[in-house]
Structure 1
Amino acid sequence: MLKPLTLLTTVTTVTLLIGCSNGDQTMQDRSTLPCANKPNCVSTQDSREKFSLAPYTLTPLATLDAIEIAALSLGRAKTAEKQPNYLRVEYTSKVFRFVDDLELRIEGNQLIVRSESRTGHSDFGVNRERADALRRALKEAGLI
């Protein structure tokens, strides 16, 4: 009887540690990298159809601060990193607390956008939906 209890405790502890490790990670800027070959990422820098996003052309009104406000308005989001032309926003799923990273970089009048799940193979289209929602929010704000 003791062994199943020990196993259950070990599995629970490992699950909690993995779950807690999804947030607040120190990450390298991957905004200009193409997606890996998993259907949990979309990017303006990836030319493959299932991963690619149409360009986001910025208006003269666009600033990183204004873009950040639009990105945070999508819900369950927090700014994880901000530099002069780079922003990484973390989105946490409601039920399982999975973390996705939205990386945004301003280069000239273009906004590089990359949205990717940290864990799992498929995201069931969540990152593409987020990128589309960001595009709508940026248009409504007059930023693209």
Structure 2
Amino acid sequence: MKKAALLSIAMLGLTACSQGVQTMTDRTASPCGDKPNCVSTQDNREKYQLAPFTLTANASLDNIEEVALKLPGAKTAVKEGGYLRIECTSRIMRFVDDLELKIDGRTLVVRSESRVGYSDFGVNRKRADQLREQLKQSGLIE
């Protein structure tokens, strides 16, 4: 009985850590999959599509990152060149979503997707809307 309990605890511990991603490729140019857990400025399908984010002249990756880190549960995972990946962790269940941002000329490419589960219940769209509002208030997008 003790072995079964120890094995259960070990398995639970391993699954709790399974959302950590060491390496992830830049997916900003990729459309979302078919699950309703992703939104993107690069996707043309209505339920996944985000309106463009047009940058102002004073926008930089550094000040975009500063604004993005004010989102709930946000921390920087990757920052290189004009690309930024922010991991947003939910408070209760500790689910991780990836908010990917990439500067492309005067446009900010935005993609937010849940790592696990089928539906995100609108969380990624809400996050993108919060980001848009905060970037507008900071004078970084039009």
Q: Structure 2-normalised TM-score? A: 0.94
Q: How far apart are the structure 2 equivalents of 1:91 and 1:19?
A: 16
Shift of 1:22: 1.2
Shift of 1:24: 4.3
Q: Which residue of 1 aligns with 2:111?
A: 114
Which of 21, 26, 37 is equivalent to 1:29? 26
Which aligned pairs between 1:1-144 and structure 2 lie closer than 5 A? 2=1, 6=4, 8-144=5-141
Shift of 1:16: 1.9
Q: How far apart are the structure 1 equivalents of 2:87 and 2:22?
A: 10
Runs of 4 or more consecutive aligned structure 1 residues displaced over 6 Å after TM superposition: none
Check whether the contact 1:24–1:80 (CA below 8 A) recurs between aligned residues.
no
The gaps in structure 1 that reach 5 residues or longer are: none
Q: How far apart are the structure 2 equivalents of 1:33 and 1:138?
A: 23
Q: How far apart are the structure 1 equivalents of 2:23 and 2:16?
A: 16
Q: How far apart are the structure 2 equivalents of 1:21 and 1:107?
A: 32
The gaps in structure 2 that reach 5 residues or longer are: none
Check whether the contact 1:100–1:116 (CA below 8 A) recurs between aligned residues.
yes
Q: How far apart are the structure 1 equivalents of 2:102 and 2:124?
A: 17
Q: How far apart are the structure 1 equivalents of 2:134 and 2:52?
A: 15
Shift of 1:18: 1.8
Q: How far apart are the structure 2 equivalents of 1:89 and 1:15?
A: 26
Q: How far apart are the structure 2 equivalents of 1:56 and 1:12?
A: 45
CA displacement 1:60-118 (0-9 Å, x = unmatched): 01000010011001121110000110000000010111100000000000000000000
Aligned residue type for 1:23: G
- Residue aligned with 1:51, SS: coil
